[in-house]
Structure 1
Amino acid sequence: MMNFKDFWTKKILVGLGLGQFLSLLITSTGFASSELARKGINAPTSQSFLNYVLLAIFYGSYMLYRRQSLKAKWYYYLILGVVDVEANFLVVKAYQYTSLTSVMLLDCWSIPSVMVLTWLFLKTKYRFKKITGVVVCVAGLVLVVFSDVHAGDRTDGSNPRLGDALVIAGATLYAISNVSEEYLVKNADRIELMSFLGIFGAIISAIQISILERNELKSIHWTAGASLPFFGFALAMFLFYSFVPILLKISGSTMLNLSLLTSDMWAVVIRIFAYHEKVDWMYFIAFAAVAIGLIIYSGGDKEGDQHCRDVVNEEAERSNKYFDEEDSSANCRAIAGSSGTSRDIGEK
């Protein structure tokens, strides 16, 4: 029988609380994006660009202050930057072609994608209890989607097939990005990860903006009403990106994606108390279902946690050997060259 103390450990409570904090941040970015769209501003890459700049400045400065050698190859972060930027772009772009309901449903594709990727590359073992938690979470989201609250969102967009394809592609890239970040934060360094993600993300975003959104930015009148949600979006995304690696290290990328399922429900809570709107009763059942699913997924698996720690330690040893391989070879060549120079001097 499961002990109550085994279930409610400090790690589980921190993971659940941090997951909901990240979910609230995603909710705030959704409200900011909606406000920008209401004002006719359609520049998804430009919104993310400022976030990457903040990451590069804040974490890059700290990394330069530490003056430590890189623990992972720079091109790993370049690939991650490309994947992350395009994931954000594709999902935001999909809203122009398909309905909100379709985006919410298809965005869940990131959860099985993450589970498959972590099973293949991080050797994560998913017991029946964890799979049950995932199913309960997704069932809760399905209740939200098919409630009467979203009845007005069921109409198709201008090109539903294209929009659905964009969401699936973006969700797959999100899964790749989350799993890559989980691996790097556990085997390399969080500050290094955030620094290079910010640097390469800003460079890639700037190139994409110059190609796709240059005319859109020129037409924007930067009043207070437009600037506040724009910079609010960037600040919320900066906090989100800063805390994501912490949750990845504690609970993994699957827990991250499950926690973000509650973002739409937090939006409903905000609408109830801030705008005094009435919502369908199914929302509260759905919220409870997702909460129960998160608890089932994260709680009371000491044996599984120990296995995960063993796997992480094993993978860390392998990655450190791989990351240091070229550095060691370079040092050996330098020592050999120095010895050769010493012998030449001695002979002279």
Structure 2
Amino acid sequence: MTNKWRSKEVLRVLFLLFLGQVVSFNLAITAFCSSLLVDLGVYLPLTQSLFNYALLALVYGCVLLYRRQRLLVPWYWYIPLGFIDVQGNYLVIKAFQYSSITSVTILDCWTIPWVMILTWIFIKTRYSLWQFLGAAVCVAGLGLVLLSDAGIAGGGGDKPLLGDLLVIIGTLCYAMSNVGEEYCVKKKDLVEVISMLGVFGLLVSVCEISIVERKTLEEVKWTAEIISLFAGFALSTFMFYSLVPFVLKMSGATLFNLSLLTSDMWAVVIRIFFYHQQVDWLYYLAFGVVALGLIIYSVTTGGDPAPTTANADGELDIQYEALSQESAASGNEVLTA
């Protein structure tokens, strides 16, 4: 019986590792598609996210309509949530126009300290000294990325510091979205939050596209390559939004955070083999420092709910940890991004 239990546990861990890598690979694909679109001269960050929100609204909205249940959270609360989420996606995708793919993916981890600050102030979440130490180590690693992009060690991109600044502001939007979702999820309906995020994210994107990107959109010469990159970005982002809650539910924050670290390495591999660019040694050092910080933070997570991690689309990786934690709590009573 003991050997049988151990074999099942090993298979479960291997399955979780596989799912974690699927999520991580999807995160890297979104960064790759965004970077390649910029190389082709297509600067449409809002339009890129539009198709993802449309898929979320269509798929999860149909599930919500099939249930024929009333919203557990008033619909107007989802308006600022969708607005902030769209801004986070816009800023991070926009950063690919100025900075390298490795800088953007590593700086996505800046979401962790933002989330800790916001949840500590507004939700009164209490963190241990080890968790603060882990976040501080992560910030130190991110500082190495800024140091490299400042030109001391040769960063990539036309305006790397501007790109880094856009990512940092974008992760603040992700963190605000995460805190708002944590409040909504207290009503304990995962499908409602994802579907409403898709609906209002879609509406906000359409409004902003008509103001900001309409002329640029009209000038784009749509080729099969550009269309395929838009489709790849939408599908990979949709998969990321959809898989993260289940990975978090089954594995918890520690394994999920460690799995997402490989998305940065996927980005490094893409930069070396696809763009034929040399990655400075500071990037590897930054990755190691960020990995150490996330390990310290994750393994010292206590009983208090503490949303951790991001994504590049960041968005995509911090939001659903809160969703998963709340869902798991409701499952014990009677079930991220």
Change in CA separation of 1:31 and 1:191 when aligned onto 2, cut-off 3 Å: same
Aligned residues: 299
Change in CA separation of 1:136 and 1:17 when aligned onto 2, cut-off 3 Å: farther
2:266: which partner in 1?
Answer: 266
Counterpart contact for 1:137–1:292, Cα < 8 Å: yes
**1:289-304 matches, cutoff 5 A:** 289-299=289-299, 301=301, 304=302
Distance 1:244 1:182 in 2: 15
Change in CA separation of 1:95 and 1:284 when aligned onto 2, cut-off 3 Å: closer
Where 2:241 maps in the other structure, the secondary structure is: helix
Counterpart residue type for residue 121 of structure 1: F
Counterpart residue type for residue 89 of structure 1: Y
Change in CA separation of 1:182 and 1:14 when aligned onto 2, cut-off 3 Å: farther
Distance 2:13 2:123 in 1: 20
Counterpart residue type for residue 242 of structure 1: S
2:77: which partner in 1?
Answer: 76
Where 1:213 maps in the other structure, the secondary structure is: helix
**1:178-197 matches, cutoff 5 A:** 178-197=178-197
Where 2:221 maps in the other structure, the secondary structure is: coil
Counterpart residue type for residue 243 of structure 2: F
Aligned with residue 153 of structure 1, among 141, 155, 160: 155
1:38: which partner in 2?
Answer: 39
**Deviations 1:87-141, CA, capped at 9 Å, x for gaps:** 2223333455x54598678755533221011112333211012122223333334
Q: CA deviation at 1:191?
A: 0.4
Change in CA separation of 1:20 and 1:126 when aligned onto 2, cut-off 3 Å: farther
Q: CA deviation at 1:180?
A: 1.8
Change in CA separation of 1:145 and 1:22 when aligned onto 2, cut-off 3 Å: farther
Where 2:134 maps in the other structure, the secondary structure is: helix
Distance 2:21 2:67 in 1: 32
Counterpart residue type for residue 264 of structure 1: D
Change in CA separation of 1:18 and 1:286 when aligned onto 2, cut-off 3 Å: farther
Counterpart contact for 1:91–1:166, Cα < 8 Å: yes
**1:98-109 matches, cutoff 5 A:** 99-100=99-100, 109=110
Counterpart residue type for residue 25 of structure 1: N
**1:113-124 matches, cutoff 5 A:** 113-124=114-125
More divergent stretch after superposition (215-224 vs 104-113): 104-113
Counterpart residue type for residue 230 of structure 2: F
Counterpart contact for 1:181–1:245, Cα < 8 Å: no
Q: CA deviation at 1:271?
A: 4.4
Where 2:126 maps in the other structure, the secondary structure is: coil
**1:231-242 matches, cutoff 5 A:** 231-242=231-242
Counterpart residue type for residue 54 of structure 1: L
Counterpart residue type for residue 52 of structure 1: Y
Distance 2:28 2:268 in 1: 10
Distance 2:290 2:268 in 1: 14
1:330: which partner in 2?
Answer: none
Counterpart residue type for residue 193 of structure 1: V
1:125: which partner in 2?
Answer: 126
Counterpart contact for 1:255–1:294, Cα < 8 Å: no
**Deviations 1:209-249, CA, capped at 9 Å, x for gaps:** 12222222222222221111111011111112223445677
TM-score, with structure 2 as normaliser:
0.72
Counterpart residue type for residue 47 of structure 1: Q
2:335: which partner in 1?
Answer: none
1:287: which partner in 2?
Answer: 287
Residue 139 in structure 1 maps to residue 125 in structure 2: no
1:90: which partner in 2?
Answer: 91
Residue 47 in structure 1 maps to residue 48 in structure 2: yes
2:310: which partner in 1?
Answer: none
2:205: which partner in 1?
Answer: 205
TM-score, with structure 1 as normaliser:
0.70
- Specify every segment of 5 or more residues in structure 1 that has no aligned partner in the other structure, as ranges: 1-7, 318-348
**Deviations 1:237-269, CA, capped at 9 Å, x for gaps:** 1112223445677757x9988976654332113
Where 2:170 maps in the other structure, the secondary structure is: helix
- Specify every segment of 5 or more residues in structure 2 that has no aligned partner in the other structure, as ranges: 1-8, 307-324, 331-337
Change in CA separation of 1:272 and 1:166 when aligned onto 2, cut-off 3 Å: closer
The root-mean-square deviation of aligned C-alpha atoms, in Å, is 4.1
Where 2:120 maps in the other structure, the secondary structure is: helix
More divergent stretch after superposition (239-248 vs 40-49): 239-248
1:170: which partner in 2?
Answer: 170
Counterpart contact for 1:26–1:240, Cα < 8 Å: yes
Counterpart contact for 2:106–2:264, Cα < 8 Å: no
Counterpart contact for 1:111–1:257, Cα < 8 Å: no
Change in CA separation of 1:21 and 1:130 when aligned onto 2, cut-off 3 Å: farther
